Amino acid sequence: MLRPALTLSLCLFANQSATLVLSPILVEVARDFEVSTATAGQLRTISGAVAAAAALAVGLLAGRLGLRRLLLSGLAILAAACGLSAAAPTFAVLAAAQALLGVGLAVLLAGAVAGATAWTEPSRRADALSLVFSGQAAAWVVGMPLIGVVGELTWRLSWVVVPLGAALLAFVLTASLPPVRTPAAPTSLAQDLALLRRNATLRAWALGEVLAFAGWAGMLVFSGALLIESYDLSLGAVGLLLGLAATAYFPGSFLFRRYVDRAASRLIVALALAAAVVATLVGTVRPGVAATVGLLALYMFLNSGRTMAGSAFGLDAAPGRAATTMGIRASATQLGYLIGSGLGGVALHLGGYPALGATFGSLFALAVVPHALLALRARPARLAS
């Protein structure tokens, strides 16, 4: 279990690093190509939109290729997109590279989480998920500061050293894993969408994931700006503090793993409600740097468990369709980035950081509603039995 889980964790490290790389270098990219920072910011929108659409085809691809070849394809696409981004002679080429990146992001995120089930005994699934998701946190703790350091030389090097380097190493390690095919037969996109229409539990879970990821990703997008504008910190200090806060993800993922298999639904509800409170406090209660960073660390801690429990719930909602459900989850993640960034920008413009925190807190509270409705529907059946 350990070797596949660590390999899949590296896949998610490469995936998350590629997602983060634009954040610290955005101003330099805009300056080099003589576009506004706002225009350069749309590069993340391009990759997110493509990833949200491409993720829905992961079930089809996994059935045709098998998970190992699917992951190898995703890593190759990610590496190619990073290389093209580093060498892009024009902004249009960089935008095209981000579209290609979106395909790689979708395939890797869905394939790596599905692989935690495929290469692991059912009794060790929670342990595997914990290790796999630690790769995302490592991208914040290790990848983000490294991106900033090499970006001081040139923003192009940031694409090469971190996500491209990690993708190539993950490609070598993934190629040495034993081939594993998904349990289900190959499906079409129409069949996967039909599964979503028929399965009320899967549908409710998907809606909850979109809302929760909107709150989670939105806070990540604006947390740096909140620290800078609240406490007049430098970019270097902000990167260090966010990396420090992200370390809380690790103890959370290992602590909550023992409850994932037997209480995923309850864990999703409890941790989402707690995250709603913390998100609101981040925006409204800012007595000092230490307090805000502490709240952000608690936010990371809570979301480590919620993310893992959400994945386990989705895998159980459609047994034998791991690649399909994780494709839906990957799409929900990218939609969350788009929704959270958009709503966060509106809230910040209208009411400042208190409105921003309240918006993200509300999204987490709304993410609980689908699970509460599922519990109410299940209650009469339990009473009847």
- In b/e form, how buried is each residue of 102-126, taking b as 16+ CB within 10 angstroms? bbbbbbbbbbbbbbbbbbbeeebbb
Q: Which two tokens stand for residue 193?
A: 């969408």
3-state percent helix, strand, coil for the chain, nearest multiple of 5: 90, 0, 10
For the domain 2-384, what is the CATH superfamily, name and number? MFS general substrate transporter like domains (1.20.1250.20)
The ranges assigned to domains in the chain are 2-384
CB proximity list for 48: less than 8 A, separation 6 or greater: 102, 334, 335, 337, 338
Mark residue 182 as left, alpha or beta (left: phi above 0; alpha: psi -120 to 50; beta: remaining): beta
What is the three-class DSSP state of 43? Answer: helix
> Are the beta carbons of 211 and 364 closer than 8 angstroms?
yes
In angstroms, the CA 364 to CA 128 distance is: 26
In angstroms, the CA 105 to CA 353 distance is: 30
> Are the beta carbons of 325 and 315 closer than 8 angstroms?
yes
pLDDT at residue number 359? 95
pLDDT at residue number 41? 73
Q: Which two tokens stand for residue 34?
A: 């003589």
At position 107, the amino acid (one-letter code) is: V
pLDDT at residue number 186? 52
Tens-binned pLDDT, residue by residue, of the chain (385 aa): 688 889 999 999 999 999 888 877 777 888 899 988 667 877 877 888 898 888 878 777 777 788 899 999 999 999 999 999 999 999 999 999 999 999 999 999 888 888 888 888 877 888 888 888 889 888 888 887 788 778 778 889 989 999 999 999 999 999 999 887 544 455 566 777 778 888 989 999 999 999 999 999 888 878 887 888 889 887 668 778 888 898 998 898 888 888 888 889 999 999 999 999 999 999 999 989 999 999 999 999 999 999 999 999 998 888 878 778 888 888 888 888 888 888 888 888 899 999 999 999 999 999 999 999 988 887 655 545 5
- Give the closest residue to 211 by CA, choosing from 379, 6, 31, 371: 371
What is the three-class DSSP state of 287? Answer: coil
What is the three-class DSSP state of 254? Answer: helix
> Are the beta carbons of 302 and 280 closer than 8 angstroms?
no
Polymer length of the chain = 385
Q: Could you tell me the CA-to-CA distances from 24 to 80, 94, 139, 340 in Å, in that order?
A: 21, 16, 14, 19
pLDDT at residue number 188? 62
Q: What angle do CA 40, 42, 43 make, to 5 degrees?
A: 75
